[in-house]
Amino acid sequence: MQQILDQVLFRAGTNSVTVQNVLIALAIISFARLISYLLSKSLKSRFQRRGVDIGRQFAIITTFKYILYTITVLWSIQALGFTLSYVWGGAAALLVGLGLGLQQTFMDWISGIVLLIEGTVAVGDIVVVDGTVARVRYIGIRTSKVETRDSVVIIIPNSKLVINNVVNFSNNNEPSRFQIHVGVSYQSDVQLVTRILIQAAEEQKEVLDLPPPSVHFTDFGNSALEFTLHIYCREFFRIERIKSEVRYRIIDMFRQQGIEIPFPQRDLWIRNPQAIVKAGRSMRNQPEND
């Protein structure tokens, strides 16, 4: 039996890798996977009891897994009979060469570690990236996955979430304010318009009562009196549908009260109207061709 364990499988320089070395390395990897499973299960149970949010749970567990995997790889290499000092020396030379060509990739890796440790963007958060509203579904060591309102999954380099300006609606426990712009004719009763806008917002259950909806008379437009309805809501991912429902209610109430939403109007100024009238008369007086 011992002869089988001592049998050399291959040689790497002065090192000989035996069957026993390989079995020990496999045992280390299997043990590490078991520890990873038990650790994840234990941490999830503890986090749920303490009320830790899902995003923070994912970040902490993933960080522990990466640390465990790194230790496992180094331990397995040593179990195969290789000296770690040689590994570090070779890795340093390799990293210098790769660093020149894979700067962006390394930046994404570092950004992934920052995201997992800081937790500024977590799984389940509603974010705006490049003007697109999306829900964070996964944060990896190099890339993250977000899902848009159209159920489209976008893979984003982590550096984009760290370096660029990213709006995170979920990072603040306070509700966010959203706007609905409305224009009415100049003959409208502005006080009645204000009451209708507030009532339409209050009838929508997703719109919060505190802070209450408010209306600003924003401008005298070219064709309409312009108002802005401000509403507060926590349903960030469905806000466009909520605003649509409020608009439906506004148009119904406007029609009931006879309030008009005007079409754009343009004034046409004719510098020489007499010339146009004269040209029209001359065209009418021309005989028709047989």
Structural domains of the chain, with CATH: 2-101 (1.10.287), 119-171 (2.30.30.60), 176-257 (3.30.70.100)
3-class secondary structure, 189? coil
Residue tagged 């007086």 (tokens): 285
* Range in 52-61, 123-132, 176-185, 250-259 the model is least confident about: 52-61
Q: What is the pLDDT of residue 3?
A: 63
Strand partners, 181: 228
Q: What is the pLDDT of residue 92?
A: 64
- Eight-state DSSP code of residue 290: -
User: Does pLDDT of 267 surpass 80?
Assistant: no
**pTM of this prediction?**
0.62
Q: What is the pLDDT of residue 204?
A: 94
Instruction: Give the distance between the most distant pair of CA atoms in the chain.
Output: 121
Would you say how long the chain is, in residues?
290
* Range in 30-34, 93-97, 110-114, 222-226 the model is least confident about: 93-97
More confident of the two residues 16 and 143: 143
The whole-angstrom separation of Cα 61 and Cα 58 is 5
Residue tagged 């760290």 (tokens): 162
**Contact between 40 and 104 (Cβ < 8 Å):** no
pLDDT one-digit tens code per residue, 177-235: 999 999 999 999 999 999 999 999 999 999 999 999 999 999 999 889 999 999 999 88
User: Does pLDDT of 285 surpass 80?
Assistant: no
Considering only CA atoms, which of 67, 43, 69, 71 is closest in space to residue 57?
Answer: 43
Q: What are phi and psi of 164, to 5 degrees?
A: -80, 165
More confident of the two residues 224 and 94: 224
Token pair for residue 8? 């050399």
Q: What is the pLDDT of residue 135?
A: 93
Q: What is the pLDDT of residue 11?
A: 64
More confident of the two residues 38 and 289: 38
Q: Which of 38-67 are b and which e, b meaning 16 or more Cβ less than 10 Å from the residue's Cβ?
A: eeeeeebeebeeeeeeebebbbbbbebbee
User: Counting beta carbons within 10 angstroms of the beta carbon of residue 145, is it exposed (0 to 12), middle (13 to 18) or buried (19 or more)?
Assistant: middle
User: Does pLDDT of 283 surpass 90?
Assistant: no
∠ Cα 170 136 169 (to 5°): 20
Q: What is the pLDDT of residue 183?
A: 95
- Eight-state DSSP code of residue 263: P
The whole-angstrom separation of Cα 69 and Cα 139 is 17
User: Does pLDDT of 78 surpass 60?
Assistant: yes
**Contact between 242 and 235 (Cβ < 8 Å):** yes
